[in-house]
Structure 1
Amino acid sequence: MMTVKQVSELTGVSIRTLRYYDKIGLLSPSDHTEGGYRLYDDTALERLQQILLFRELEFPLKDIIGIMGRKEFDRRKALDQQIELLELKKQHLQKLIDFARGIKMLGVRAVDFTAFDRSKLDEYAQRAKAEWGDTPEYKEFEEKDSKRTAAENDQLTERFMTLFAEFGELKGGSPDSPEAQAQVRKLQSFITENMYTCTDEILRGLGKMYAAGGEFTENIDRAGGKGTAEFTAAAIEVCLG
């Protein structure tokens, strides 16, 4: 048997919440001490696990009470359904990650998802899509991205960064060299083929962003060595005149 305090420390569920679950008939203690303190056995803890899984899936308490209060409630079947729902949720989160990666490739500001707690993920996705989703470039990217798997997106990112590694191999020379200029057009073609139509105007904007500092500059320099981002931006500027 565990006391309410021990259960709270084990599960992270507050004592107040456990008392409330008891009050509404969702999770009753298995017994009480002589002093009236709640005690919970393994069966009660298993029920709490079920409750927490349902809560993680954002089921309202009234629905959980209804589901778990049924005579025909099958714990194993419920667990199978919870696993299926969690898999769907996992896929949803992966789509959000892929969406963020896509925005990053499009040249908008980088986003550190560690700065967002789980409750704000959907809010951010809606705001970001509202901000960028009406542009022809984003719509084109979204269409192409929808046809790729997560693994294919990872491969695409790796190929994209390889282009900057190749810029890094050229940075010892001049940004107006034939090799550097050919690499600029190779970059532009890659973006057009895999992401969205990269016009000269867009490419010019990307070049300025690449050398502006921050995460993009750091990532490019990490791929091709320090100074690669500035060299790439200079080569783009020469190419576009």
Structure 2
Amino acid sequence: MKTVKEVSHLTGISVRTLHYYDEIGLLKPTRISEAGYRLYDDKALEELQQILFFREFDMPLKEIKAVMGNPDLDKNQLLSNQKKILVLKKERLERIIASIEDILEGDNKMDFEVFSKAEIEQMYEQMSQNMTEEQKKIFVQEYGSMEAFEKHFVESASGEEAQKNFAKVVEWYGDKDSTLYAAKAPENSEIVEAYSKRYEQVIKKLVSMKGKDVTTFEVKQIVGELDFVVKQLYRMKDVTAFMLQTAEMYMDNKEMQESLDQIHGGGSAMFIGKALKAFYGSHE
């Protein structure tokens, strides 16, 4: 058994943080001594090690607690996936270092690749794991086999245009690691469906304000509600860039306007676009 001070010295985690983990139920001590000291056994230290691994990926404590407390989740598989992300990040950094060395040596060659082939293959693997059998049948009918679809996906995603789109998605999520995490993170389909329905409800509420000044509090209040839903739906910390680009599409893309206006009535796309611009324009 180790005291909280010994655990702190061993791991570098402050005593205050260990006390907080106890308070929120993330890591309870194995037992409390008669003198009131928290004591931790080897099993508790193993749990702390897993918690620290997850913290390295900026996972919120609430999510870590859910993972640690769910017996149905394969924690080793999650850590294995996190390891793959680290390896890919290491490879990316090595490519950047190599590019810098080339520039310093006079070979002014820049690497604009956003995701490597290995990272794209990993995205495909995660995507295929989350596909239903019905979805797989559609791709088999279209491409002949899942292997053929995988080849098409990797080749297409490696192209210049796709890499430009990836760059935009990375901008939305803030960094590449967050993008990969959002792409691979297990998500309850019922939760996604619930947020999708709520998104449609908020859009309808926003459209009901059509004709009003988009700078009024009541319109901005609805966009604020939309902001929360989009963050939850797409697992983004900040959706400003994403929503501003969405606003531009609603205001400039004729096909997008026609499609949205058919659902919500004429002028809806333009109104939503202006409302998003008014709300997020001040965030730039």
Q: TM-score range by the shorter chain?
A: 0.3 to 0.5
- If the length of structure 2 is used for normalisation, what is the TM-score? 0.36
Q: Which has the higher contact order (CA 8 A, sep 6+)?
A: 1
Larger Rg: 1
Per the normalisation by structure 1, the TM-score is 0.42
